[in-house]
């Protein structure tokens, strides 16, 4: 990776310190049930989802595209009419936590900066819903949009997918599923924010970015995959679970947002190399001093705002 000594951006450090103070007001995660963990996560992150752009229209619905219900939130910025390009965005949280509420501002920022509709998806969380439940429902949504996107004021010929961490994983997995059924052309681009693509985290990454006090260490990262999988021994080798194991031939263009000071940065760097080896049009940018989840610091950190604008412009170019 990068040889020089890495220092966390001061504005990102402020965000991390404030997050840590928020977590300190609640019991340790290890003492909480999964529903309780999610409730605490929503409370701690609520502050960071406030403010930001006002949409011309925000519509929320519970919707079943044929594989089970999803909560959907559709963001339409000013100046965007019907038959609009759209980014389907999948929040992070290790397949276990977070929601379209924790990521509400981030999705509004993308809609405003890129001039496209954003469709936020609350997919079923683990461990209550194991692989491939979430993937099945997300794939069904994209296939529904192919035939019915106009019902939501969306052009089905101009769809992108994106997400952060586990959401990036699910974006790749959905595109791989669609390619396998001959529908790969449905997704015109993938926006991958600090993606989580493999169960493997190197000793070097753990030594540099994990350990006590880090935003995420190797044990926590692996625990999320353990929640997601029903059969670790078999499913951890499935390319739809670990996209680093996939044949990427014919995948849509990808933009990889890579925080320099992130336990999972090595996975995005490796993914970029894999994509280029298999002739996938790939853009990647390393954000110096940024950490995992740094986009959530958009209200206080210029580097987060820059990365959001970079991602929005990538999507906008691909959907023109």
The predicted model gives 307-316 an average pLDDT of 99
Eight-state DSSP code of residue 201: -
In this prediction the pTM is 0.97
Q: pLDDT value at position 124?
A: 98
User: Going edge to edge, which strands form the sheet with 69-76?
Assistant: 57-64, 69-76, 117-122, 84-90, 154-164, 190-193, 254-261, 282-291
pLDDT in tens, 170-211: 999 999 999 999 999 999 999 999 999 999 999 999 999 998
- Statement: residue 2 has pLDDT above 70: no
Instruction: Identify the band that residue 6 occupies on the pLDDT scale cut at 50, 70 and 90.
Output: confident
The rounded mean pLDDT for the chain is 97
pLDDT tens-digit readout, 115-144: 999 999 999 999 999 999 999 999 999 999
Please state, in angstroms and rounded to a whole number, the distance separating the CA atoms of residues 199 and 134.
Answer: 18
The pair of structure tokens assigned to 318 is 């691909």
pLDDT tier at 212 (50, 70, 90 boundaries)? confident
Q: What pLDDT does residue 3 have?
A: 42
Q: Which residues contact 88 (CB under 8 A, 6 or more apart)?
A: 118, 119, 121, 138, 141, 142, 145, 159, 160, 161, 162
CA dihedral 28, 31, 32, 34 (to 10 degrees): 110
Q: Which residues are catalytic?
A: 165, 262, 292
- Which is nearest to 97 in space by CA: 160, 50, 141, 33? 33
Return the pLDDT at 5: 64
Q: Name 136's Cβ contacts closer than 8 Å, sequence gap at least 6.
A: 67, 68
Helix and strand counts by DSSP (H, E) for the chain: 10, 8
């Amino acid at each position: 990776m990068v040889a020089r000594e890495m220092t966390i951006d001061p504005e990102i450090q402020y965000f991390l310190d404030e997050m840590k103070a928020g977590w300190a007001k609640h019991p340790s995660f290890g003492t909480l049930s999964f529903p309780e963990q999610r409730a605490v996560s929503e409370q701690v992150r609520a502050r960071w989802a406030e403010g930001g752009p006002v949409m011309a229209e925000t519509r929320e619905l519970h919707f079943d595209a044929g594989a089970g219900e999803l909560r959907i939130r559709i963001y339409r910025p000013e100046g965007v009419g019907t038959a609009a390009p759209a980014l389907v965005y999948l929040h992070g949280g290790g397949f276990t936590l977070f929601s379209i509420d924790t990521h509400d501002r981030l999705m509004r920022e993308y809609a405003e900066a890129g001039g496209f509709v954003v469709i936020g998806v609350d997919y079923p969380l683990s461990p209550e819903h194991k692989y491939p439940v979430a993937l099945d429902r997300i794939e069904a949504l994209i296939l529904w949009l192919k035939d019915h996107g106009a019902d939501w004021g969306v052009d089905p010929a101009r769809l992108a997918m994106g997400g952060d961490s586990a959401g990036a994983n699910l974006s790749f997995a959905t595109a791989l599923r669609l390619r396998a059924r001959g529908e790969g052309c449905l997704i015109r681009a993938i926006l991958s924010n600090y993606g989580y693509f493999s169960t493997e985290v190197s000793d070097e990454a753990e030594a540099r970015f994990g350990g006590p006090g880090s935003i995420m260490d190797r044990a926590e990262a692996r625990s999320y995959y353990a929640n997601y999988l029903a059969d670790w021994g078999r499913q951890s080798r499935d390319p739809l679970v670990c996209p680093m194991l996939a044949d990427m031939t014919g995948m849509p263009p990808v933009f990889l947002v890579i925080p320099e000071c992130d336990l999972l940065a090595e996975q995005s760097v490796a993914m970029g190399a894999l994509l280029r080896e298999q002739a996938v049009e790939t853009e990647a940018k390393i954000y110096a001093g940024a950490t995992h989840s740094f986009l959530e610091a958009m209200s206080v950190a210029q580097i987060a705002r820059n990365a959001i604008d970079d991602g929005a412009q990538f999507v906008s170019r691909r959907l023109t």
